[in-house]
Structure 1
Amino acid sequence: MTETAIDYSAVFQSLPGMVALLTPELAYADVNAEFVRVSGRTREQLVGRYLFDVFPDNPHDPQATGVRNLQASLYRVLATGERDAMALQRYDVEDSQRPGEWQERYWSPVNTPVLAPDGRVVLVVHRVEEVTELIRGRSDGQRDGRARVLEAELYTRARELQELNERLRLAHSREREVALALQEAMLPAGPQTRHHHRAAVRYRPAVGALNVCGDWYDLVDLVGGHRTGVSVGDVVGHGLGAAGVMGQLRSALSAASRVAEGPAHALDVLGRYAHVVDGAESATAVTTFVDFDRQTITYSSAGHLPPVLVHPDGRTEFLDQATDTPLDARPDPIPRPQAETTFTAGATLVLYTDGLVERRREDIDTGLERLADALRRHRAMDPELLADTVLLELLPPGGATDDTALIVVRL
């Protein structure tokens, strides 16, 4: 039988276990026959409706956690694009024949993403196995005492693990809140330069408790003439530690740029400083010195993704001719490379971090081309609107799994 001859709709309906397809908004896109049978709901009561409207928590059980746990699992799948197997869950279901009466039910769920070619999660396969009879038994005579004790112990351990996971989630959430507050305090809310005001800055934290607070940006007036330094960087790690390192590196580069001969010299100084900062290993940064009088951009990169120069005619130029190793990558630093390019009035300079363009299971060049295309199409926009539009188009609908910094400067 060839692949095109397989009726996958019939296969889906014939699957022996309960399977549902959920949209990213957590509405039922489709359900198989076994899901309809075991859930006690018709297709009309399921397809097109929000999952937790159909199956809310038991209002008579103040300890009910079914909705919260399932929702957390589904959001993890949407954010990470990875499969999530849940611990055993008690999730009571209202009797479809007797409204107001709730049946004690136990389930073993697994949630698996269906990915589009660009890596976005377009559907979630929600596979559920009911294990109520395993936990409760049809009658006392059907299982011996040891089996009942073992099953009760397994259920207790599963609940304890579930509660531990929830405590860890709350702890991570609190650390995230503190780290983000620290990040917000250390990053400027907008351009702080005297020379140039047509600039926009954005920071978007990652979804979830991990991979936040390592990205930073900076704009600084430079000594001598009508010049501005524009930089972004990325610290490996997350949470409070990454936020602290980020603040130290940003401040050091800001200070070095004011007195450095050029961007390469500024990164040389920053690299030596990073060598004595715990947690700065493998951090990356790129800095550009914009001279508005000479209409030149001098730049240097320490392992970071290249800035983009969008010319008024729509031509995009990646500034990738002076890329070197990340900060603190060499025991004995050597002078970093530096390059220069020219621009005309009305061009746009864009610096960013990897959260904007990198996607799991996708070549980085695809993300860079996606960025270049968006900048070409929207280049006439004001920097503030352009920054918002680029984030809207390039970040996944549920948020990225890495934080993102973005600077847009109209030259």
Structure 2
Amino acid sequence: MAEVGGSSIRLRVLDAVTAGALKELDLDKLLQALLENVRELLAVDTATVLLMNRDGGHLVAKATSGLDEEVFQGVRVPVGKGFAGRVAQLRQAVQIGHVDKSTVVNPLLWEHGLQTLLGVPMIAEGELTGVLHVGSTAARRFTDEEIEALQLVADRLAVAVYVDRTRSERAAATLLQESLLPTRLPSTEGWEFAARYVPGAESGVGGDWYDVFELPGDRIGVVIGDVVGSGLPAAVVMGRLRSALRAYALDYADPAEVLGKLDRKASHFEHDTMATVAYAVIDTASHNMRIAVAGHLPPVLATPEGEARFVDVHVDPPIGFDLGSTGRHDTEFDVPPGTLIVLYTDGLVERREHDLDTGLERLRGAVTSTDPETACITIMATMIGDQPAADDTALVAIRHSE
């Protein structure tokens, strides 16, 4: 009879997790519906989902049936600590028959009189998204069939959480990226600007950014940067670096000093983060540019008299990990009338089908001394064409028009 009963539980759980009506529910309602089904099917007193937070170090109570305080109070459980933390660390089912501070870190569990707990990991695409656990106020031993049934529910929830989180992160990253890109470029007599940003076909929105802003003293700041990584985490770091660089740019005239301050800030606060950045300051009165480069690809410069060339700049280490602790440098050069300068991220020139040098040479050949908007159109047509780039791409074109 045990086998028949077990098979019956499994079938009922399969019916519950594959019900067509669930497809119409958002994540919160889906979690609630399945947790209530779990309580009924396994005859337990509580069912709770804790989701992994962004840094992967804690589980946070997201939804519950029978133990609402866990969510109301924002219960957090360190991975590796207590009951749910062990489930997350081991990535396998854990069952305990004694609930107190020696076995769990959340006092709500023993305060509600729970005697038995069963937890299983929620894993989707190889990623641990959380833990599903159930509890009973009666002493009992969960059978293998019940454990398997609970794992089926956890697998269904893991996929839903993964899809929702991926979709939400992409939307949030896109919104963040759009909010941080300049809504308009400076309009300064004798200087013209144009720019492009295109998310990667594979990576989506990431850490690429450009910025152009007016500075005191007839100066204009121009930034191009690329945070290592993709998605919302890279976009968030990008936003913080962008804001910090703008602040430093107001206080320090030397681009190398600005990037030095940015490196110190990133190394201290943005752990495990790296970014390449080029920051240039245009002096519109003297018609020259000073640029500091942190691991970034060199600008392309074209004059009316000849072919485009790469600017011979001093390339320092990228931002982050205190790589530039020995000091940073800048390069200064004149920008005669008619000169076009192009700054870009590696998504513009890197392709699987050819090496970086080939991509750089194609870019150089596409740059001519023309107005910035036409230059952007030509460059994007040449470098991107009808084949989407895998990585996101940023591009800024600057022309001294007088």
TM-score > 0.5 by shorter chain: yes
Is the Cα–Cα contact under 8 Å of residues 292 and 314 in structure 2 kept in the other structure? yes
Which letter maps to 1:219? V
Partner of 1:349: 341
For 2:195 and 2:206, locate their aligned partners in 1 and report how far apart those are by CA, in whole Å.
15
Name the aligned partner's letter for residue 190 of structure 1: R
Give the match for residue 393 of structure 1: 382
Work out whether residues 312 and 346 of structure 1, in 8 Å CA contact, stay in contact via their aligned partners in 2.
yes
- Are residues 164 and 385 of structure 1, via their aligned partners in 2, closer, same or farther at CA, if it must alter by over 3 Å? farther
**Alpha-carbon shift at residue 167 of structure 1 (Å):** 8.1
Residue identity in the other structure for 2:170:
R
Which residue number corresponds to residue 238 of structure 2? 246
- Judging changes above 3 Å, is the alpha-carbon distance between structure 1 residues 330 and 400 closer, same or farther for their aligned structure 2 residues? same
Given residue 180 of structure 1, which amino acid in structure 2 is its aligned partner? Answer: T
Residues 165, 318 of structure 1: CA spacing in aligned structure 2 closer, same or farther, 3 A cutoff? farther
Q: 1:218 to 1:193 in 2, by over 3 A?
A: farther
Over aligned residues, Cα RMSD in angstroms? 2.8
Q: How does 1:100-249 map to 2 (within 5 A)?
A: 168=162, 171-192=165-186, 194=188, 198-208=192-202, 210-224=203-217, 226-249=218-241
Structure 1 residues 167 and 200: alpha-carbon distance in aligned structure 2, compared to 1, 3 A threshold: same
Match of 1:285 in 2: 277
Q: C-alpha distance in 2, partners of 1:386/1:163?
A: 49
Q: CA deviation at 1:166?
A: 9.4
Q: Which amino acid aligns with 2:182?
A: P
The CA deviation string for residues 217-276 of structure 1, in whole angstroms up to 9 with x for no partner, is 11122222x321111110011111111111111111122122213111111111111113
- State the identity %: 40
- SS of residue paired to 1:172: helix
Task: Report the CA distance between 1:388 and its aligned residue.
Answer: 2.2
**Secondary structure, counterpart of 1:276 in structure 2:** helix
Deviations 1:82-130 (A, max 9, x none): xxxxxxxxxxxxxxxxxxxxxxxxxxxxxxxxxxxxxxxxxxxxxxxxx
Alignment of 1:23-62 (within 5 A): none
Aligned match of 1:340 in 308, 312, 332?
Answer: 332
Secondary structure of residue in 2 paired with 1:275: helix
| Whole-Å separation in 1 of the counterparts to 2:392 and 2:163 | 19
Q: 1:364 Cα shift?
A: 1.2
Q: By how many angstroms is 1:329 displaced? A: 3.6
- Structure 1 residues 353 and 331: alpha-carbon distance in aligned structure 2, compared to 1, 3 A threshold: closer
Q: Could you say if the C-alpha distance between residues 314 and 162 of structure 1 is closer, same or farther in structure 2, counting changes exceeding 3 Å?
A: farther
**CA deviation string 1:40-78 (max 9, x = no partner):** xxxxxxxxxxxxxxxxxxxxxx9xxxxxxxxxxxxxxxx
Alpha-carbon displacement from aligned partner over 1:293-350 (angstroms, at most 9, x marks no partner): 2221111100011111111223323224210100124367122011111221011111
Structure 1 residues 219 and 280, CA gap change in structure 2 (3 angstroms): farther
Shift of residue 185, structure 1, vs aligned partner? 0.7
**Alignment-derived partner of residue 256 in structure 2:** 264
| Residue aligned with 1:175, SS | helix
**Counterpart-to-counterpart distance in 1, 2:322 and 2:265:** 13
Counterparts of 2:157 and 2:284 in 1: how far apart (Å)? 58
The two structures have a TM-score, normalised by structure 1, of 0.55
Tell me: CA distance 1:319–1:301, structure 2 relative to 1, closer, same or farther (3 Å).
Answer: same
TM-score normalized with structure 2 length: 0.56
Alignment partners' CA distance in 2, 1:347 and 1:280: 39
Structure 1: runs of 5+ lacking an equivalent: 1-61, 63-160
Task: Call closer, same or farther: CA 1:175–1:316 in 2, change over 3 Å.
Answer: same
Unaligned 5+ residue runs, structure 2?
Answer: 1-19, 21-154
Q: 1-side partners of 2:361 and 2:323: how far apart?
A: 35
Residues 218 and 254 in structure 1, CA contact (< 8 A), matched pair in contact too: no
- Post-superposition offset of 1:206: 0.6
Counterpart among 337, 361, 364 of residue 369 in structure 1:
361
More strand by share: 2
- Cα deviation for residue 361 of structure 1 reads 4.8
Give SS of 1:235's match: strand
